[in-house]
Chains A and B, each alone.
Chain A
Amino acid sequence: MLEGHISKAFDGALAALHIRVLEMGGLVLAQVREAARAYTSWDALAAERVIARAADVSGYDESIFQDQFTLIARRQPVSRDLRAVFVMEKSVAELERAGAEARKIARTVLQQSGRPARATSSDVRQLAQLATGLMRLSLEALDRIDGALAAQVIAYDEELDAEYAAGLRRLLTRAMEDPRHLDIAMEAAFVLKSLERIGDHARIMARHVQSLAPQGDPPADEGRSDPLDDRAPASPSSPAADPAAPANPSTSGHDAP
C-alpha cells in the first residue's frame, strides 16, 4: 500500500525505509532470542554477542532517522504516506527499546551472580517464546501492513501478561521456600519483566500498524496456525507451548529459584 506513486523514486524511498525498519526488527528479534537463550543456558559468550550487536541496533536507529528526515525534506509526504513515515519512526523507537531490554538480560548473564534453577529457566524460556512470537508477529503485521494481524498481536499480549504474572508468582513462591537464593530470584524477576516489556513494545508497534492499515480489514483467519508460536514453521499446537515445560505451568512443582 506504500507503492503506486507517479514518482518511482518516491516509491523506492518509502520501500527502502520500510525494509530498513524490518531489517532492524529482524536484528532486535535475534537479540531477544539470543539474550533469552544466554540466560536460560547461562551462556556468557552468547550474552557477549548480544552486547556487541547492541551498537548495530543503535546504528539502525540513527540511519533510519536520517532516511526519514531526508524523505520528509525531499518528498513532503502527506496523508497515508506521512502516516507511514511516522509509523516507521514510532516502530523504530519500540524496536530500540525492545533491543535495550535484550541487552539488560544479557548483562544479567555477564554479571555471573548465579545461574537460575531449572524451573526458573523453564519459566523464562516459556515467556521468551511468547515475547519473541509476539515480536515476530508484530513485524509481520508491519511488513504486510496487516491490521487484522496487528489486532491479534494486541490480543495475544494479554496472554503474555498473564504468563508473566504466573511466572512471577511461581518465582516468588520458590524464593520464599528457599530464601538463600533471593538475589538470583530477583534477577530472574527482572528478566521476566524485560520479556514482558518486549511483549508490550510488540503490542505498541501493532497499534501503530493498525493506524496505518486500511480500514475494514477482514477478520483474521481462524484456521491459521498459532501465530504466537515462535518456532518455525508455525506449529498447530497450543499457544507457544515449550515442549520442555510442564503442561500447566501454574501448577508446576516448586523447586529452588
Chain B
Amino acid sequence: MSSVEQGGVNLKPSGRVAGTSTSLAEVSISQTVGQLTVPDPVFSCRDVSVHYGSKQGVRDVSIDVGKRQVLAMIGPSGCGKSTFLRCLNRMNDTIAGARVTGKILLEGRDIHDRQLDVVQLRARVGMVFQKPNPFPKSIYDNVAYGPRLHGLARSRAQLDDIVCTSLQRAGLWDEVKDRLSQAGTGLSGGQQQRLCIARTIAVEPEVILMDEPCSALDPIATARIEDLIDELRASYAIVIVTHSMQQAARVSQRTAYFHLGSLVEVGETDRVFTNPRHKLTEDYITGRFG
C-alpha cells in the first residue's frame, strides 16, 4: 500500500519506500525507519518540509500523531524537531521567510486550508513553551483569557467553572484556590508552567504541543509536570519536544528521532529505547553521538 486515503484527502507518501514491506503500519516513508502511521490519527503529516529562505530546516517528514497518546520528539540541537512542532499549529507562519510545504491534516482537514481560521486552529492545538509565560494578569484571568476570547462561557458562573476545572486538571487548584486574584507571575516556575498548561486546556484543545516544557524547572516540578502529562493523555494527544531522553522514555508512548531536519526513526517508546533500528538513533540515545 503506498498511499493513505483519509478524510477525503489523498495522503501520498514520497514514494521512497525502503524495503519490500507492503503493510501500511510497517511501510517506511521518506526513508524513515519504524511505524509512521497509527490507527485513527489526530494529525497526519506527509512530506512536511520547512525552509527559512534558502535554508531547509525540516526535510520531508511524514508521521501520524495518535489520539490519547504522547509522542516525544528527540534529537540534537538544530535537528528540526521544534520547527516541525511549530508547523502543527502554524506557528511558523509568524516567522518572516519561513515556508512550509507538504500536507498536515488535523482530523482529516488540511491545516493550510485557506478557509481554516488560524485562531481556531491554535485553540484546537494548544502550545506550552520552554519558559513559563503567564500573562501579567491574575491567575484567574490567565486561565479565563482563552475561554473569553473564544466565547466558551456564557456566564460568569460558567467561566468560574472552566477556570476551576482547568486548574484542577493542571494539578494547581489546591495550591492557588485561595489566591486566584494574585498575579500569575508571582507563582514559582513549576506552578507557572502548570498555570500555562491550565490556560491551554481551558479552551478544550484536541492536541497539546509542548516545547521542552520542563527544561527550566527543578526535578520536583519536572516530576509534577510529567505526572500531569500522563493524566492529560487520557483526554488529549500530546506532542512533546525534549532534550531529556529519560523524560521521553518516561512520558511518551511513541518516540520520534530527528537528525539534520529528517525524521530518522519513529516507533513505540519501549522499542526505541531498548532496540532501536537505526544506528543514528542508537548512537544518539546511548550517548555516542549528539
Residues of A at the B interface (CB closer than 8 Å) are 4-7, 10, 76-83
Contacts and interface: CB of A to CB of B under 8 A. Distances in A.
11 contacts: A4-B288, A5-B286, A6-B288, A6-B290, A78-B245, A78-B249, A78-B273, A79-B273, A80-B282, A81-B286, A83-B274
B275 interface: yes
Contacts of A78: 245, 249, 273-274, 285-286
A77 B282 CA distance: 11
A79 B283 CA distance: 10
Nearest to A81: B286
A10 B282 contact: no
A95 B249 CA distance: 33
A78 B273 CA distance: 6
Contact of A79 (B246, B276, B289, B290): B276
Contacts of A4: 283, 288
Contacts of B288: 4-6
B287 interface: yes
Nearest to B273: A78
The interface centre, meaning the residue of B273, B283, B285, B287 with most chain A CB atoms within 10 A of its CB, is: B287
Given A79-B285, A83-B274, 10 more contacts: A5-B286, A5-B288, A6-B289, A6-B290, A7-B287, A76-B246, A78-B274, A78-B286, A79-B276, A82-B274
A6 B282 CA distance: 13
B286 A77 contact: yes
Contacts of B274: 78-79, 82-83
A92 B59 CA distance: 47
Nearest to A75: B287
A79 B282 contact: yes
A182 B274 CA distance: 54
Nearest to A2: B286
B287 to A, nearest CB: 5
Nearest to A83: B274
A5 B284 CA distance: 9
B267 to A, nearest CB: 13
Contacts of A6: 287-290
A71 to B, nearest CB: 13
Contacts of B276: 79
A111 to B, nearest CB: 48
Contacts of B287: 5-7, 10
A78 B248 CA distance: 12
Interface in B219-277: 245-246, 249, 273-276
A83 B273 CA distance: 11
Determine which residue in A76, A77, A78 has the highest number of CB atoms from chain B within 10 A of its CB, and name it. A78
Contacts of B285: 78-79
Closest 6 CB pairs of A and B: A4-B288, A5-B287, A78-B273, A81-B286, A79-B286, A78-B285
A77 B288 CA distance: 11
A77 to B, nearest CB: 7
Contacts of B275: 79
Nearest to B287: A5
B223 to A, nearest CB: 16
B110 to A, nearest CB: 37
A80 B274 CA distance: 7
Contacts of A5: 286-288
B282 to A, nearest CB: 5
A77 B245 CA distance: 11
A83 B275 CA distance: 10
A98 to B, nearest CB: 29
